[in-house]
Amino acid sequence: MESPALDTENVTPASKTRKLQRKRSGSPEHSCVSMKSDASMDSPGNFKNADYLFVNSVLQKSGDRREKNIITATGHDPEPAAVNEFQKKFKLNLVKKFQCLNGVMINLENRTLLNEIYTELYITEGDSGDVNKEHEVRQIEAASRRTTTEETPIKCNDIFKPLSDQDKPIRTVLTKGVAGIGKTVSVQKFILDWAEGKVNQDVQLIFPLPFRELNLMKDQKLSLMDLLHVCFKETKETEMSSLEKVLFIFDGLDEYRFPLDFQNTERVCDVTESASVHLLLINLIKGNLLPSALIWITSRPAAADQIPSECVHRITEVRGFNDPQKEEYFRKRISDQSLANKIITHLKSLRSLYIMCHIPVFCWISATVLERMLDEAESGEMPKTLTQMYTHFLIIQTNIIREKYSKKQESDEEMLLKLGQLAFQQLIKGNLIFYEEDLRECGIDVREAAVYSGVCTQIFREEFGLHQSKVYCFVHLSIQEHLAALYVHLTFMKEKRNVLVQSRVFKTISDVHKSAVDQALESQTGHLDLILRFLLGLSLESNQKLLHALVTHTGSSSQSKEETVQYIKKKISEDLPTEKSINLFHCLNELGDNSLVEQIQRYLKSGKQRNLTSSLWSALVFVLLTSEPELDEFDLSKYANTKKITALALLKVMPVIAASSKAIIQHATLKEKHCEALASVLGSESSRLRELDLSWNKLGHSGVQWLSAGLKDPHCKLEALRLCGFDVSDEGCAALTSALRSNPSHLRELDLSYNKIGDAGVKCLSALLENPHCKLEILWLQYCDLSGEGCAALTSALRSNPSHLRELNLSQNKLGDSGVKSLSAVLENPHCKLEILRLSKCGISVEGCAALRSKLSHLRELDLSGNKMGDSGVKTGLENSHCKLKTMRL
């Protein structure tokens, strides 16, 4: 997000500022830093003829108004003319700064108005919940499969408005989202709409304070008043005493280089009290300072847990563009609708690229490349991989640089090597924003940086931060990763030096590739995953031909490529985490080798089953997770003989189970570790699984214990569970029902048939059924060793909560007439909704059938087969005038 430049008068001398820049904190983890595409923003102009008054009385007054915390779309009471005039000018100034798309979306000669191109982003309340250590590209791929039916979408301008079922005010909002997903643009649009008077007009001032700018004030001690005077000069000279509500926006928590310690922090409550900036931030967020001021924080997911949950009233997640929004973006971005349609069609044909279009910045890169290639009818193959897309983008931007700056002294290769070195070294350190000393380490002086940022605006940016100091960044993380990979490739081709591993000698580019594969597999954060894909893709002959226009040392042999391919296939055959295996398949795709995928696709089309190798199981998982947007059903028996499937293969398919709405794994050799993995799937908030059939797996009590751990997780949304023939005992049934009692509201179907749970197990189950939150509609207890005693306990529970159950199967249990008489008490309850009752082979006589005579008004289907009732018993049941049976089995 753009931020006002700050007034440094009476704050810090220039010499001290330079010292501040050189003092760097320890580099945070790669996954906890971000890069925005924001341009710097000049400070709002000073307003003439304004009366000087202290702003602290204003904000302190705001701090005393805790009850006025809910945003509405209505205006507020008329204010003094001077204040009203000030706000108009303040808003006008913000409009000027935020009306144009900043960062990557603008062309300096032809600025694009935000309101003309802005596409509403898909924002939801809550987040995926899981701690995800994968590369953010993989997170996007996983998120693309997430169901939207149970999510609560929120419009950007409504993030402070409580939902209809929420009555508590929302003070602090934390918005998460991966790099480039649209967090900063959302902030920009929010500010612009407010400044233009469209929404949220009861907020009287908005103070945007990006974390990247606050980095440079680490050693400053100043009050909140002073901070605002420095950041927003006009607040020193304006009447503001009647303002009541303000909003602070802290964009880019992941860019903040200093720890936020909420536990051991000095309390600051006075807006005129001096303290360090991070202390001011903590006390603002905790509500010690200005408790009624609204706070909006944005962050990439890995850094968001720095804010304690008790300080956050709402978490939102920016999910980028959904599929309709992707198309809307391209149609707005490209005026020629025929051309836009061709671009959309091309991207849809390549699922890996179309998934990436969830990220708005990737949409922009794709539009830039494909519009140029299609419009100019350029020869050559259309980009089909990430490496091809980013390499075409780099060539387009480099050509623009050459046209803009014909007097450039250095060659394209020299410029790309320097930028690549900067990209690589800062990625390894975990930095995605950097300063002049970082540039000097790579041989880039300030004058060169000015040239790069002046002519290379779509790749590299120079911004003016606090104290007018310069901050540099690449336009997006993926562009930095592509340049870093190019640097690794070119350095080896020119100098036979592998910058990824300096301690060893590497003879061939294939050795470099193998080493990079190993490093990526060892990484806990996935921070090398995309660099690896780019690095391998750059060695492809087609990409080398593209690069030849820019650099001289590009080539590698086909033999080297084949060595790399075989090495990756060997790794795929090993016991790898699924996310690592999937990235290796993407790597093979970058290398143009799809043999494993094609082999599994031929196998699926054949309809014949055979024992699959570990590599082919990995290929199957990759195909199932990347070929279709949603998996409705995963039936393991369709892909292999479940009785012969290996334990490793069962673990490999767990991500497929999590991505499916229904999973059937019958007659498999499940072990405890598989149930443990299934429990993890059940407890994952990102899981789509709603129906699970594990019938005829003899796992018994230990397996049920593991499953119960997942079922009781509040994130579990399972609606149907079938454990027929699972070897569940009464003890296992007790564990199962205990878990379901703690999370009873989702399950609609339960099948425990062919388990010896006995009367003791059914009594435990009855405690679940009588829970008013239990919504069970189908219950199968066939052949469960029940007697009339167990049936009595069951029916007692159903009498207390009779309104949900629609189908009950008690066949092949020794219920006898006493059991049926108990059931008849349930059936006569006017709230009973039972429609299907199965009592086959239950030892029922004429007497028992007579007990059902007047209780059949709800039933549509009744199974009494295998009971010795005779014709008179049947006749007795059918004589009931209210009987509505459509099906009766005898």
pLDDT digits (tens, 9 = 90+) for 758-813: 999 999 999 899 888 899 999 999 999 999 999 999 999 988 888 789 999 999 99
Q: Which domain holds residue 407?
A: 336-509
Tell me, yes or no, whether 313 and 344 share the same domain. no
Q: Which two tokens stand for residue 238?
A: 């304006």
| Residue 62 within any structural domain of the chain | no
Average pLDDT over residues 382-396: 92
For residue range 190-233, what is the model confidence (pLDDT) as tens digits?
Answer: 999 999 999 999 999 999 998 888 887 877 899 988 888 888 87
User: What's the confidence (pLDDT) of residue 54?
Assistant: 34
- In this predicted structure, what is the pLDDT of residue 766? 93
- For residues 79 and 770, the model is more confident at 770
pLDDT tens-digit map of 85-98: 778 888 988 888 88
Give the pLDDT confidence score for residue 729 in this predicted structure. 93
**Sign of torsion over alpha carbons 721, 724, 730, 732:** negative
User: What are the tens digits of pLDDT across the range 188-198?
Assistant: 999 999 999 99
Least confident of 245-259, 408-422, 548-562, 817-831: 548-562
648 and 792: one domain? yes
Q: What is the reported pLDDT for 150?
A: 57
User: For residues 651 and 676, is the Cβ–Cβ distance under 8 A?
Assistant: no
Cα 147 from Cα 10, distance rounded (Å): 54
| Residues 247, 206 contacting (CB under 8 angstroms) | yes
Question: How confident is the model over 660-685, as pLDDT tens digits?
Answer: 999 999 999 888 889 999 999 999 88
Tens digit of pLDDT for each residue in 683-696? 988 888 999 999 99
325 in any annotated domain: no
pTM over 0.85: no
* pLDDT of res. 880: 56
Task: Tell me the average pLDDT across 100-129.
Answer: 67
Helix (H, G, I), strand (E, B) or coil at 296: strand
Please indicate, yes or no, whether residues 738 and 852 belong to a single structural domain of this protein: yes
- Following DSSP, what letter does each residue of 366-387 receive, concatenated? HHHHHHHHHHTT-SSPPP-SHH
The answer to whether 58 and 248 are in contact (CB under 8 A) is: no
CB 521 within 8 A of CB 571: yes
- The span from the CA of 817 to the CA of 843, in Å, is 7
Q: CA-CA distance, 447 to 426, in Å (whole number)?
A: 20
Asked if residues 792 and 798 have their Cβ atoms less than 8 Å apart, the reply is no
Q: Which of 635, 415, 394, 429 is nearest to 537 (CA)?
A: 394
Q: In the prediction, which pLDDT does 752 show? A: 97
Contacts of 18 (CB under 8 A, 6+ apart): none
DSSP one-letter string for 732-800: HHHHHHHHHHHS-SS--EEE-TT---HHHHHHHHHHHHTSTT----EEE-TTS--BHHHHHHHHHHHHH
Identify the domain boundary among 474, 509, 544: 509
pLDDT tens-place string over residues 741-752: 998 889 999 999
Residue 606 vs residue 6, higher pLDDT: 606
Query: What mean pLDDT do residues 647-665 have?
Result: 92
List beta partners, residue 314.
173
Helix (H, G, I), strand (E, B) or coil at 460: strand
Same domain, 237 and 351: no
Q: Is the pLDDT of residue 8 over 50?
A: no
What's the confidence (pLDDT) of residue 404? 67
Report the distance separating Cα 850 and Cα 821, nearest Å.
Answer: 9
How would residue 108 be classed by pLDDT, with cut points 50, 70 and 90? very low
Residues 707 and 786 in one domain: yes
> Could you tell me if 798 and 668 lie in one domain?
yes
Question: Residue 148: is its pLDDT beyond 60?
Answer: no
- Residue 48: pLDDT over 50: no
pLDDT tens digits along 551-576: 876 666 677 899 999 999 999 999 88
Q: Element (H or E) spanning 519, and its range?
A: helix 509-522
Q: Which of 509, 524, 554 is the last residue of a domain?
A: 509
Highest-pLDDT range among 51-60, 502-511, 515-524: 515-524
Residue where the block lists tokens 């030096």? 497
Would you place residue 883 in the very low, low, confident or very high pLDDT band (cuts 50, 70, 90)?
A: low
Q: Bigger pLDDT: 856 or 498?
A: 498
Mean pLDDT of the region 520-531? 91
Q: What is the pLDDT of residue 12?
A: 35
Residue 873: what pLDDT? 55
CB atoms within 10 A of CB 311: 16
> Of 486, 499, 480, which is closest to residue 423 (Cα–Cα)?
480
- Give the angle subtended at the CA of 293 by the CAs of 291 and 296, to the nearest 5°: 115
Confidence at residue 22, expressed as pLDDT on a 0 to 100 scale: 35
- Tally Cβ neighbours within 10 Å of residue 424: 23
Nearest residue to 600 (alpha-carbon basis) of 578, 618, 575, 581: 618
| Range from 387-396, 429-438, 757-766 carrying the lowest mean pLDDT | 429-438
Per DSSP (E only), the strands in 85-184 are: 123-125, 172-176
Enclosing H/E stretch for 402: helix 386-404
522 in a structural domain: no
Q: Mean per-residue pLDDT for 166-173? A: 89
User: Are 662 and 803 members of one domain?
Assistant: yes
In the chain, % helix, strand, coil (3-state, to 5) comes to 45, 10, 45
Mean pLDDT of the chain: 81
- What single letter denotes the amino acid at residue 207? F
CA separation for the pair 575, 426 (Å, rounded): 32
Co-location of 142 and 282 in the same domain: yes
Q: Do 676 and 735 share a domain, yes or no?
A: yes
Domain count, the chain: 3
Confidence label for 51 from pLDDT (cuts 50, 70 and 90): very low
The distance from CA 90 to its chain's CA centroid, rounded to whole angstroms, is 36
Do 295 and 348 share a domain, yes or no?
no
**Stretch (H or E) spanning 809:** strand 807-809
Of 509, 543, 571, which marks where a domain is finished?
509
Please work out, in degrees rounded to the nearest 5, the angle formed at the alpha carbon of residue 457 by the alpha carbons of 452 and 459. 85
- Evaluate whether residue 548 is within a structural domain: no
The reply to whether 459 and 499 lie within a common domain is yes
Please, what's the b/e burial string for 382-417 (b: 16 or more CB within 10 A of its CB; e: otherwise)?
Answer: bbbbbbbbbbbbbbbbbebbeeeeeebeeebeebbb
For CA atoms 799, 800, 805, 811, the dihedral sign is: negative
CA 540 to chain centre: 32
Q: Mean pLDDT lowest for which of 281-290, 397-406, 494-503, 840-849?
A: 397-406
Asked whether residue 583 is domain-assigned, the answer is no
Q: Are residues 160 and 251 in the same domain?
A: yes
As to burial, measured by CB atoms within 10 angstroms (0-12 exposed, 13-18 middle, 19+ buried), residue 848 is buried
Q: Give CA separation, 88 vs 149, 235, 243, in Å.
A: 42, 13, 13
Residue 30 lies in a domain: no
- Per-residue pLDDT, averaged over 591-596, amounts to 94
pLDDT score for 137: 67
Q: Which range (222-231, 394-403, 586-595) has the least confidence?
A: 394-403
Bridge partners, 41 (sequence order): 4
pLDDT at 10 over 50: no
Mind listing the pLDDT tens digit for each residue in 712-721? 998 899 999 9
Residue 434 and residue 473 in contact, taking contact as beta carbons nearer than 8 Å? yes
Q: What is the pLDDT of residue 454?
A: 55
Q: Which amino acid is at 113?
A: L
Span 287-299, pLDDT tens digits? 999 998 999 999 9
Q: To which H or E segment does residue 403 belong?
A: helix 386-404
Dist CA 459 CA 476 (whole Å):
8
Query: Three-class SS of residue 492?
Result: helix
Q: Compute the average pLDDT of residues 247-271.
A: 89
- Maximum mean pLDDT: which of 20-34, 440-454, 816-830: 816-830
Tokens 């000087």 map to which residue?
52
- The Cα–Cα gap between 459 and 416 comes to 11
Which CATH number goes with the domain that contains 645?
3.80.10.10
Higher pLDDT, residue 52 or 620:
620
Kindly state the percentage of the chain with pLDDT values over 70: 80
Residue 744 confidence (pLDDT): 84
Q: What is the DSSP letter of 82?
A: H
Q: Is residue 688 in a domain?
A: yes
In a domain, 546, yes or no: no
In our burial notation (b when 16+ CB lie closer than 10 A, e otherwise), range 66-88 reads eeebbbeeeeeeebeebbebbbe
Reduce the DSSP state of residue 470 to 3 states and report it.
strand
